[in-house]
Structure 1
Amino acid sequence: MASVWFVFFLPLLCVGVRAQPEKAKLISLNSSLSPKYGSPMGWASPSGLFAFGFYPQGSGFSVGIWLVGTDENTVVWTANRDDPPASANAKLYFTEDGKLLLQTEEGSEISITDGSGPAVAASMLDSGSFVLYDQNLSVIWNSFSYPTDTLLGGQNLDSNKKMVSSESRSNHSSGWFFLAMQGDGNLVSYPVNSSGESDDSYWSSGTSSASRLNFYSTQLSLNTEGALYLSSGMSSLIIQTFRNSSNPSKNKTTIYRATFDPDGIFRLYSHRFENNGSSNESIVWSSLSDQCDVKGFCGFNSYCSNPGAKAECHCLPGFAFNNPSEKIRGCSRIFNGDDCSKMNNQLISYNITTLENTGWGDYPYYKKSMKMEECSKFCLDDCNCGAALYRNGSCYKYKLPVRYGRINRNETATALLKGHLQRVKSAYRPPPAPMNTEVKIDGKKTLILVLSLSLGSIAFLCLVIAISSFWVYRHQVWSYRQLSEEVNLGSTEEFTLQSFSYDELEKATDGFREELGRGCYGAVYKGTIERDNKVVAVKRLEKVVEQGEKEFQAEMTAIGQTHHRNLVRLLGFCIEGSKKLLVYEFMRNGSLADLLFNAEKRSIWKVRVRIALELARGILYLHEECESQIVHCDIKPQNILMDDAWTAKISDFGFSKLLMPNQEGIVTGIRGTAGYSAPEWHKNTLISVKADIYSFGVVLLEIVCCRRSIEVKVSTADEIILSSWVYGCLVARELDKLVGDEQVEFKSLERMVKVGLWCVQDDPALRPSMKNVILMLEGTVDIPFPPSPTPL
């Protein structure tokens, strides 16, 4: 880390060195851009050094700001960076009502400047900031206030804000690391899926609240002269200063940018532009010199080495890269089966491979003083041990996956790794079959008889299959015709949202008399729509953001466009002033909570397994298959309803944008329901679909055990927290305790328990995706032994 100096009144010196006011080129209303050949792709700044508009990304185009004249037109800002690239038929409109919208080829409109009021003009400034003006030509929105991975001269990163690295040099969607300007005055780098606590950080400015900066809100700043510093009130801390020793040349223009690069290292760059059009890029300063110092540079079950200028990632012995082109995604074992299994009357064993000067960043679950040979055997005999470290006469055992692995000459530990699967034949041999010497059959006659019987059987089987297929086909055609006669499949009312009046819904629910339930969004009432005599559930929304009718209708349309057999279907809505109501299909069999916790006896095991899979498929649709990704934020048994056929359907999805502002929104504050909310809700970390994975894991364990995740009235204290009790039973091989006297299929029980424990890991990076959850529940892929859900 570069040395840091404490300086008073530096903002008066550094910030005072500014360029003269720019003669900005105003962009008028009704202007547009398009990536099509022959159309303008961007709006340039007065100097021509910066441009705003479409730039190529992957097979499409993204909207952002780039530095013109560099080798690859260096991108410094991207709008909606995690949206998929637009096609060449997309357009960027500065509309007549003062909004900047991206219109995709499919016809949807995406706002580029969310939260800004109506503008009358826009401009791309020479500073690299794109701004919108109101009628008084006052700036009402600017890109400098929303940095992605880069700061330019005159731009700040305020306290409690983050910069997230890009995925790669050519892909500017959110990457694997973030740089946080913490409230205590410390600038810190973390892996993006970490807890955001000190154990996961790998670089810091060392400017915590112990310095004088704690008297004010601290911010990271870069000025136009190349000074990168932390400022607070009237005092500053220089991180890096770079200036020319000679007088600046009139034939040169220098632009500085501080970028949090895809490899997780914060760097300060200078770009020198000559009047003849040539340019020169150089690295002025770097927060780290060794890429292996970046925690998470290599993924799980791998280690980092730095033999030269660039670091390399290697899989642990017995592992292979999940994606060789993206090694940060880690490695998986190249064989199946767990450490304690027996397969086909063969014992599975492992060899131990050693790596010198190797370590990683996880905590061991066991430590004991012993010799290295004993440590190897100690790990081999332990089913939970995936790897061990031998350091200073002590053996440290770890569960898989291990993370933050690296080879370092200063590391005194030796890594002991399980690998090179061997199968040793069992000593047991079945006794030889007795010989019958009296029976002798002619070989040719036997062969002819076997072939005749085989061919005859095959011919008969084919005939049966052909006849069966014909009758099944006829039955399906007849059923379809019957269905076509009874139901009008062409009716558009069945597949579009209906608009209801408040009086109509009040009458349908008999004055909101019969309450079915109540949640954080409001109460639900049973009703009957007179126009088609249909029984419905009417939700009267409470505590939602006050917004216009058009915005509310847009939200309802987005929810109404989600169609899946495991989602409760939205039929219509009502909006009259502050009165907002939603009309859903009616679920006659109540919720999963009633089935699990209030039923007189447990439902059949196979039914519960099916419900778990249906719930997983519904969440997968929300996360990956619907038009816009939906994070539910409140997966719990009360929000899983059962239809007439006892099919599980998820309700209350897509409501994150309707929450009251004091609930803080999707990124930092929605807590969900106690017992089901993921740990990251209570930390200052980004929320992703992995929060739903955690909630699903809690529900899955409740489905297995037919009890709540937290129970006080239990026989022993170990049973209070469900996940801890389940993990203890799995380790002790006593899973039968979870289901009592119930008859269950043991393999499916073990699968559901392991999947549930992987889903409730504190670290979001350890939780599987919902697609992998389904594959594991179906038994398509093997499930490794999970770590303890609550790390030591």
Structure 2
Amino acid sequence: MGYSLFFPTFFLVCPLVSGFLSSEFIYPNFTATEYHFIDNDGAFLVSRNSTFKSAISNPGAQKTNFYLCVIHVESNTIIWSANRDAPISDSGVVSLTTNGITIADQGGVLRWSTPPLPSSVYALKLTELGNLILLDHSNGSLWESFHHPTDTIVTGQHLPVGTYLSSAVSDNNLSSGDYMLTISTSDALLQWHNQTYWKLSMDTEAYINSNYIVEYMAINRTGLYLFGQNESLVVIQVILSPADFRIAKLGASGHLTVSRYSGTKWDQEFFAPTDDCKTPFICGRVGLCNDGLSSGLSCSCPSGFHVVSQDCVPNNGSYYLPFSCNSSGFSYVGLGYGTEYFANDFSEPLRYHVNLSVCEDLCSGDCSCLGFFHGNSTGSCYVLESELGSVMSSNDAESDLVGYIKVLAGPSTNGVTGASSRRQKIPVAALVLLPFTGFFLLGALGFLWWKRWGLSKSKEIKLGRRNSHSSEDLDVFYIPGLPKRFDYDELEVATDNFKTQIGLGGFGAVYKGTLLDKTIVAIKKITNLGVQGRKEFCTEIAVIGNIHHVNLVRLKGFCAQGRKRLLVYEYMNHGSLDRTLFGSGPVLEWQERFDIALGTARGLAYLHNGCEHKIIHCDVKPENILLDDHLQPKISDFGLSKLLSPEQSGLFTTMRGTRGYLAPEWLTNSAISEKTDVYSFGMVLLELVSGRKNCLLRSQSHSMDDNESGGGHSSSSSGSGFGYYPLFALEMHEQGKYLELADPTLQGRVTREEAEKLVCVALCCLHEEPALRPNMVSVVGMLEGGIPIIQPIIESLNFLRFYGRRFTEASTLMELNGSTSYPLGNASRNTSGLHAVFSYVPSQQISGPR
């Protein structure tokens, strides 16, 4: 004990003992340079059993770039680097203070540091797993290197959804490269400039165990896994031979490898993608990759290109490949049949059933488009954007895709003949006359521009001249990730001039439509977005359109033309949950209700935790939960709150006050978070249990009151014949009478345990303090049974008694006055909290059935 007390004091007094290699811990006021620890190869900290060391390292023994690294000692393999994108020289300094770690170069120039921490640092520890941890005085973790991975993860490390690995430029240059391994809620993806080129689920060595939500990727003694429910559920697995230590690394070439250390060398166990030609840049820009199997991989140039200094360039010397957005002076060079592009297998065509000319026009109208592939038999049109990688020879005998690459300058000899290529030739006469007529032409152009400026943009759109759209309309093409873009005329035809309205909401009306490929869709004609511009609108649509989950209604496309804003959704034949649950049709069985609750919870968990951009729905209610033909729930209108302007977002408090789904924090100006959706989900869960609305007037519920054992006849909650069901649920929970809460139309087809499970989860979601509510991932776990049911905290539910009492008082007042609507007058002015109970905006006026 005496030694352990003396040890940290020693470091505070003598922090710069040259060559002294600390074991496991170092303490604040410590500094290190490569020179001070040169005898230890720059290492100044080792784990308890010397499995890992932390060192100032220069990979490859180059003399210019030094990094703070964690290194596997026996193999001398770097598993993590702090300042990968900000290397220091050999005179750079690593310091540990009570504020964290800093890395400064010569002259004290700060190059890297840990973020601001919640409390002072007591020590820095290197664990036997290779994790650098900053500890506070209670040995609590303030920061961990495992939470900020670079290109490698090791046994015992998690790579959660939303995080990623980024390749290094090379073995000697640790800077972030172009390849990424990202973890979504359903898969692990390899991407290059946001273009996917591999998925774990498609790998021949992977086994898909379930379709549950992924929480993180990990490697352990038995293999590579995507886990859900805190490692209690395997979603995807790659089984490997047992090994105590292995690493997964995203290499500089874009390959993901998993290797185990055998004691003398690394043995590679997993390699992806196995087809090297599907690695995006294997043969350089527009290089043609050929995998001859027996003869191995070879690179050449496709038709229309030849090699110059190891790069493929157009055969016509007047052409060159664009490296930036260019909207004029271009043509196309054909690649011929038998070629493919890596990203085509992982993306939907921009358009279906279009001819080659239309596909070319789509690329020509988008300056970020660098080329396209067109299928003659299917009419599919794929566009190549952002960056051009390698192309590959196609082994698919049935494929009839043909590719075209956009090139700049010069007349077209190999490309598609079209408007873009025809405008390359400038008449010789114009070149001769131009110097003599310059001023005249400028004046004429100025006059024409003035006349054009005075025309109404709406008239231009009505004329249907795509190339005459305003420059703002072209902005939609500059935003990556947009879903399919429709012309207004297309949607007008699809809906027979917006003939069949199937819903009406606060954002606008919804119409049934049929696209050219006979797909039935729901088209929302948005009318309440104020003056939001196309670019802002399309930026948010790009986020919403790239969110795909089995329990979310899919956004198939959009229209942003002039001031018109429309969204195209998949059509849900069974309508919304409120129609099925509260309507006069067949009764929903208990298992159907449970499956709807679980599916809805999974959809919300994905919005909150599985998307790159967290989305808070803000309006969870039965009207926004749609059902397919198999009663599988799909959440609609997610992300539409993102489309509101800042001024409009201030209306959320009143807009979202729909029959008691409004969380208390809306009314207290508290921060709105994903826990707001959790509260609303809790209310929906109670309605699924009871088969009735949470707030009912006598005129709505009197027939039920006569027959329902669970109709809300508690003295405190519904003494006047009116029911505030959440309070009744709380009271029955306190008494353990869960069957009193179940829908009586189920007639005994539900057990006490089944009802108790859903009621307890619902009440946990209704806690007044958002921090006490579970997140949606935990809710999913409780419903599935992987996580024990949390017991509700009664103290945090007492506000329901206040709501219920005021509801009864106001309801009695309404009965005396003969009122048939919710009071908005003096009775509700007694407290701002009553707004959550009393204010009522009809659901169809907000978002309505889809």
TM superposition score normalised by structure 2: 0.38
Higher helix share: 2
Q: State the TM-score, normalizing by the size of structure 1.
A: 0.41
